[in-house]
Protein backbone atom coordinates (compact mmCIF):
# COMPACT_ATOMS: atom_id res chain seq x y z
CA UNK A 1 0.00 0.00 0.00
CA UNK A 2 1.44 3.34 -1.01
CA UNK A 3 1.77 6.14 1.48
CA UNK A 4 1.36 9.85 0.89
CA UNK A 5 3.59 10.73 3.83
CA UNK A 6 6.73 12.46 2.61
CA UNK A 7 10.07 11.16 3.85
CA UNK A 8 11.66 13.20 6.63
CA UNK A 9 13.77 16.11 5.43
CA UNK A 10 17.49 15.70 5.68
CA UNK A 11 19.07 17.97 8.30
CA UNK A 12 20.68 21.11 6.95
CA UNK A 13 24.24 21.78 8.04
CA UNK A 14 24.57 24.84 10.21
CA UNK A 15 27.66 26.21 8.49
CA UNK A 16 27.04 26.97 4.85
CA UNK A 17 23.53 25.58 4.91
CA UNK A 18 20.77 27.12 2.86
CA UNK A 19 17.12 27.70 3.49
CA UNK A 20 14.40 30.29 3.56
CA UNK A 21 14.35 30.78 7.31
CA UNK A 22 16.52 31.79 10.21
CA UNK A 23 18.65 29.36 12.17
CA UNK A 24 16.86 28.51 15.44
CA UNK A 25 17.73 27.02 18.80
CA UNK A 26 16.34 23.71 17.52
CA UNK A 27 18.89 23.76 14.70
CA UNK A 28 21.64 24.43 17.23
CA UNK A 29 20.49 21.51 19.37
CA UNK A 30 20.28 19.20 16.35
CA UNK A 31 23.85 20.04 15.35
CA UNK A 32 25.03 18.92 18.80
CA UNK A 33 23.28 15.59 18.30
CA UNK A 34 25.00 15.19 14.91
CA UNK A 35 28.39 16.06 16.45
CA UNK A 36 28.62 18.90 13.94
CA UNK A 37 31.02 21.73 14.66
CA UNK A 38 30.06 25.25 13.61
CA UNK A 39 31.45 28.81 13.63
CA UNK A 40 30.12 31.95 15.26
CA UNK A 41 31.37 35.49 14.67
CA UNK A 42 30.62 38.88 16.13
CA UNK A 43 29.03 41.55 13.95
CA UNK A 44 28.12 45.16 14.67
CA UNK A 45 26.75 46.60 11.43
CA UNK A 46 24.61 45.65 8.44
CA UNK A 47 27.39 45.37 5.84
CA UNK A 48 29.61 42.93 7.72
CA UNK A 49 26.52 41.03 8.87
CA UNK A 50 25.59 40.55 5.21
CA UNK A 51 29.09 39.33 4.33
CA UNK A 52 29.17 36.79 7.17
CA UNK A 53 25.58 35.70 6.55
CA UNK A 54 26.30 35.06 2.88
CA UNK A 55 29.47 33.18 3.89
CA UNK A 56 27.24 30.74 5.76
CA UNK A 57 28.05 31.73 9.35
CA UNK A 58 24.99 30.42 11.24
CA UNK A 59 25.15 32.56 14.39
CA UNK A 60 26.15 36.22 14.70
CA UNK A 61 26.81 37.74 18.11
CA UNK A 62 26.41 41.47 18.68
CA UNK A 63 28.89 41.38 21.53
CA UNK A 64 29.53 43.89 24.27
CA UNK A 65 33.01 43.79 22.71
CA UNK A 66 31.54 46.65 20.66
CA UNK A 67 32.70 48.75 23.61
CA UNK A 68 36.26 48.30 22.37
CA UNK A 69 36.06 47.64 18.61
CA UNK A 70 33.29 50.15 17.86
CA UNK A 71 33.33 52.74 20.65
CA UNK A 72 37.03 52.71 21.55
CA UNK A 73 36.86 51.89 25.26
CA UNK A 74 39.51 49.71 26.90
CA UNK A 75 37.02 47.22 28.36
CA UNK A 76 33.43 46.06 27.90
CA UNK A 77 32.22 47.74 31.09
CA UNK A 78 31.13 51.18 29.74
CA UNK A 79 28.86 50.03 26.88
CA UNK A 80 25.11 50.31 27.50
CA UNK A 81 21.87 48.83 26.23
CA UNK A 82 21.23 52.05 24.33
CA UNK A 83 24.66 51.71 22.68
CA UNK A 84 24.04 48.13 21.55
CA UNK A 85 20.42 48.31 20.41
CA UNK A 86 21.07 50.19 17.13
CA UNK A 87 24.02 47.89 16.34
CA UNK A 88 21.92 44.79 16.95
CA UNK A 89 19.07 46.10 14.80
CA UNK A 90 21.54 46.77 11.98
CA UNK A 91 22.91 43.21 12.15
CA UNK A 92 19.38 41.77 12.04
CA UNK A 93 18.53 43.92 9.01
CA UNK A 94 21.79 43.01 7.27
CA UNK A 95 21.36 39.24 7.63
CA UNK A 96 18.77 36.76 6.38
CA UNK A 97 19.65 33.31 7.71
CA UNK A 98 21.90 33.70 10.74
CA UNK A 99 20.56 33.66 14.27
CA UNK A 100 21.42 37.02 15.82
CA UNK A 101 22.34 36.93 19.51
CA UNK A 102 22.40 40.16 21.52
CA UNK A 103 24.80 40.56 24.43
CA UNK A 104 23.31 41.99 27.62
CA UNK A 105 25.92 44.56 28.75
CA UNK A 106 27.23 45.10 32.27
CA UNK A 107 24.64 46.65 34.55
CA UNK A 108 21.64 45.52 32.50
CA UNK A 109 20.76 42.29 34.33
CA UNK A 110 22.93 41.81 37.42
CA UNK A 111 20.55 43.37 39.96
CA UNK A 112 17.77 40.87 39.39
CA UNK A 113 15.04 39.32 37.33
CA UNK A 114 13.08 42.51 36.66
CA UNK A 115 16.08 44.33 35.20
CA UNK A 116 17.07 41.31 33.10
CA UNK A 117 13.56 40.97 31.68
CA UNK A 118 13.38 44.68 30.89
CA UNK A 119 16.75 44.69 29.10
CA UNK A 120 16.19 41.46 27.18
CA UNK A 121 12.69 42.49 26.15
CA UNK A 122 14.03 45.73 24.70
CA UNK A 123 16.49 43.79 22.56
CA UNK A 124 13.85 41.36 21.34
CA UNK A 125 11.24 44.03 20.57
CA UNK A 126 13.40 46.93 19.34
CA UNK A 127 16.05 45.04 17.36
CA UNK A 128 14.48 41.75 16.24
CA UNK A 129 17.25 39.74 17.94
CA UNK A 130 16.58 36.03 18.21
CA UNK A 131 18.36 35.31 21.53
CA UNK A 132 20.36 37.03 24.23
CA UNK A 133 23.64 36.22 25.97
CA UNK A 134 24.58 36.95 29.56
CA UNK A 135 27.57 36.18 31.73
CA UNK A 136 27.72 34.09 34.89
CA UNK A 137 26.70 30.75 36.31
CA UNK A 138 24.65 29.94 39.38
CA UNK A 139 24.55 33.57 40.50
CA UNK A 140 22.39 34.49 37.49
CA UNK A 141 20.14 31.41 37.43
CA UNK A 142 17.01 33.36 38.47
CA UNK A 143 17.54 35.68 35.51
CA UNK A 144 18.09 32.78 33.11
CA UNK A 145 15.03 30.93 34.33
CA UNK A 146 12.85 34.04 34.08
CA UNK A 147 14.02 34.86 30.56
CA UNK A 148 13.49 31.31 29.34
CA UNK A 149 10.04 31.25 30.95
CA UNK A 150 9.24 34.46 29.07
CA UNK A 151 10.15 32.80 25.76
CA UNK A 152 13.56 34.43 25.35
CA UNK A 153 16.36 32.01 24.30
CA UNK A 154 19.43 32.41 26.52
CA UNK A 155 23.09 31.76 25.70
CA UNK A 156 25.28 31.47 28.80
CA UNK A 157 28.91 32.56 29.20
CA UNK A 158 31.42 31.05 31.64
CA UNK A 159 35.15 31.13 32.27
CA UNK A 160 36.69 34.51 31.61
CA UNK A 161 33.61 36.70 31.72
CA UNK A 162 34.91 40.12 30.61
CA UNK A 163 32.27 42.05 32.56
CA UNK A 164 33.89 40.67 35.74
CA UNK A 165 37.45 41.45 34.70
CA UNK A 166 38.01 43.73 37.69
CA UNK A 167 37.02 40.95 40.08
CA UNK A 168 39.36 38.53 38.30
CA UNK A 169 42.27 40.96 38.55
CA UNK A 170 42.73 41.10 34.79
CA UNK A 171 42.26 38.91 31.74
CA UNK A 172 43.39 35.53 33.09
CA UNK A 173 42.74 31.89 32.24
CA UNK A 174 39.88 30.56 34.38
CA UNK A 175 38.98 27.09 35.63
CA UNK A 176 42.38 25.76 36.65
CA UNK A 177 42.55 23.45 39.64
CA UNK A 178 39.54 23.16 41.93
CA UNK A 179 37.79 26.06 40.22
CA UNK A 180 37.28 23.77 37.24
CA UNK A 181 34.71 21.76 39.20
CA UNK A 182 32.88 24.97 39.99
CA UNK A 183 32.78 25.85 36.32
CA UNK A 184 31.35 22.43 35.43
CA UNK A 185 28.69 22.87 38.11
CA UNK A 186 27.84 26.31 36.70
CA UNK A 187 27.53 24.89 33.19
CA UNK A 188 25.19 22.13 34.33
CA UNK A 189 23.12 24.64 36.28
CA UNK A 190 22.76 26.86 33.20
CA UNK A 191 21.61 23.88 31.15
CA UNK A 192 19.07 22.93 33.84
CA UNK A 193 17.82 26.53 33.91
CA UNK A 194 17.05 26.33 30.19
CA UNK A 195 20.04 27.94 28.45
CA UNK A 196 20.34 26.64 24.87
CA UNK A 197 24.15 26.96 24.70
CA UNK A 198 27.10 28.23 26.70
CA UNK A 199 30.25 30.13 25.75
CA UNK A 200 33.48 28.96 27.42
CA UNK A 201 36.13 31.67 27.35
CA UNK A 202 39.80 31.28 28.26
CA UNK A 203 39.59 27.94 30.02
CA UNK A 204 41.97 24.98 29.69
CA UNK A 205 41.16 22.77 26.73
CA UNK A 206 40.84 19.65 28.89
CA UNK A 207 38.25 21.35 31.09
CA UNK A 208 36.30 22.60 28.08
CA UNK A 209 36.25 19.05 26.73
CA UNK A 210 34.84 17.78 30.03
CA UNK A 211 32.14 20.44 30.03
CA UNK A 212 31.25 19.71 26.42
CA UNK A 213 30.87 15.98 27.04
CA UNK A 214 28.80 16.54 30.18
CA UNK A 215 26.20 18.81 28.58
CA UNK A 216 23.43 18.09 26.08
CA UNK A 217 23.52 21.75 24.95
CA UNK A 218 26.32 23.05 22.70
CA UNK A 219 29.46 24.69 24.03
CA UNK A 220 31.05 27.57 22.14
CA UNK A 221 34.75 28.03 22.71
CA UNK A 222 36.90 31.13 22.62
CA UNK A 223 40.36 30.31 23.89
CA UNK A 224 39.03 26.96 25.14
CA UNK A 225 40.68 24.40 22.87
CA UNK A 226 39.14 22.52 19.96
CA UNK A 227 36.85 20.06 21.74
CA UNK A 228 33.93 22.47 22.05
CA UNK A 229 30.95 22.16 19.73
CA UNK A 230 31.52 25.58 18.17
CA UNK A 231 34.03 28.42 18.08
CA UNK A 232 33.56 32.19 18.24
CA UNK A 233 35.89 35.10 17.54
CA UNK A 234 35.53 38.85 17.41
CA UNK A 235 35.50 39.44 13.68
CA UNK A 236 38.10 42.23 13.77
CA UNK A 237 40.48 39.84 15.55
CA UNK A 238 39.74 37.03 13.08
CA UNK A 239 40.31 39.29 10.07
CA UNK A 240 43.52 40.92 11.29
CA UNK A 241 42.10 44.38 11.89
CA UNK A 242 42.89 44.50 15.61
CA UNK A 243 46.53 45.43 16.28
CA UNK A 244 46.92 43.43 19.51
CA UNK A 245 45.12 40.16 20.16
CA UNK A 246 45.08 37.32 22.68
CA UNK A 247 47.09 34.11 22.31
CA UNK A 248 44.05 32.13 21.16
CA UNK A 249 43.34 34.37 18.16
CA UNK A 250 44.37 33.27 14.68
CA UNK A 251 44.34 35.97 12.02
CA UNK A 252 42.76 34.63 8.85
CA UNK A 253 43.37 37.79 6.80
CA UNK A 254 45.20 41.12 6.93
CA UNK A 255 42.29 43.54 6.75
CA UNK A 256 44.38 46.16 8.53
CA UNK A 257 46.94 46.04 5.73
CA UNK A 258 44.31 45.97 2.98
CA UNK A 259 42.49 49.01 4.36
CA UNK A 260 45.73 50.88 4.91
CA UNK A 261 46.85 50.20 1.34
CA UNK A 262 43.47 51.29 -0.02
CA UNK A 263 43.51 54.51 2.00
CA UNK A 264 47.03 55.38 0.80
CA UNK A 265 46.18 54.56 -2.84
CA UNK A 266 43.10 56.78 -2.64
CA UNK A 267 45.05 59.60 -1.01
CA UNK A 268 47.85 59.40 -3.58
CA UNK A 269 45.39 59.71 -6.48
CA UNK A 270 43.60 62.64 -4.84
CA UNK A 271 46.87 64.46 -4.20
CA UNK A 272 48.14 63.68 -7.69
CA UNK A 273 44.91 64.67 -9.43
CA UNK A 274 44.19 61.19 -10.77
CA UNK A 275 40.93 60.85 -8.87
CA UNK A 276 38.23 61.51 -9.75
CA UNK A 277 38.86 60.70 -13.39
CA UNK A 278 36.43 61.36 -16.25
CA UNK A 279 34.60 58.07 -15.70
CA UNK A 280 33.86 59.09 -12.12
CA UNK A 281 32.43 62.49 -13.07
CA UNK A 282 28.95 63.53 -14.24
CA UNK A 283 28.22 65.41 -17.47
Predicted local confidence at residue 244, as pLDDT: 87
**Arithmetic mean of pLDDT, 41-55:** 98
Active site residue 54: no
Q: Is the pLDDT of residue 1 over 50?
A: no
Predicted local confidence at residue 19, as pLDDT: 73
Task: Give the confidence band of 10 by pLDDT, cuts at 50, 70, 90.
Answer: low
Q: Residue 222 phi/psi, 5° resolution?
A: -145, 100
Classified as helix, coil or strand, 67 is helix
Q: Is the pLDDT of residue 227 over 50?
A: yes
Name the catalytic one among 115, 201, 206, 279: 201
Predicted local confidence at residue 5, as pLDDT: 57
Predicted local confidence at residue 133, as pLDDT: 98
Query: Among candidates 25, 22, 13, 14, which has minimal Cα distance to 196?
Result: 25
Query: Among candidates 144, 234, 139, 250, which has minimal Cα distance to 198?
Result: 144
Cα separation, 217 vs 122, in Å, equals 26
Predicted local confidence at residue 162, as pLDDT: 67
Predicted local confidence at residue 173, as pLDDT: 62
136-159 pLDDT, tens digit each: 999 999 999 999 999 999 999 999
Per-residue CA distances from 4 to 1, 7, 11, 203 (Å)? 10, 9, 21, 51
Predicted local confidence at residue 72, as pLDDT: 96
Q: Is the pLDDT of residue 250 over 50?
A: yes
62-113 pLDDT, tens digit each: 999 999 999 999 999 999 999 999 999 999 999 999 999 999 999 999 999 9
Would residue 160 be called left, alpha or beta, if left means φ above 0 and alpha means ψ between -120 and 50 degrees? beta
Q: Is the pLDDT of residue 8 over 80?
A: no
Task: Give the confidence band of 175 by pLDDT, cuts at 50, 70, 90.
Answer: low
**Share of residues in the chain with pLDDT > 70 (%):** 90
Q: Would you mind telling me the total number of residues written for the chain in this entry?
A: 283
DSSP string, 30-56: HHHHTT--EEEEE--SHHHHHHHHHTT
Predicted local confidence at residue 174, as pLDDT: 62
Q: How many CA atoms lie within 13 A of 82 on its CB side?
A: 1
Q: Is the pLDDT of residue 53 over 50?
A: yes
Single pTM value for the model:
0.92
**Share of residues in the chain with pLDDT > 90 (%):** 85
Query: Among candidates 133, 209, 134, 141, which has minimal Cα distance to 175?
Result: 209
Q: What is the rounded average pLDDT for all residues in the chain? A: 92
Task: Give the confidence band of 257 by pLDDT, cuts at 50, 70, 90.
Answer: very high
Amino acid sequence: MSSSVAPPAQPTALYGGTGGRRVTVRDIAAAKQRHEKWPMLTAYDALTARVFDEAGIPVLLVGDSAAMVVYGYDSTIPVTVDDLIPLTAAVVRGSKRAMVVADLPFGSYQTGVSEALTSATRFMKETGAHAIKLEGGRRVLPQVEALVAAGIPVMGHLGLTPQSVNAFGGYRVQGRGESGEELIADAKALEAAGAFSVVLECVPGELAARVTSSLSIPTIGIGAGNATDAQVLVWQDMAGLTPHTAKFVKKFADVNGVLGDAARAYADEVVGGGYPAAEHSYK
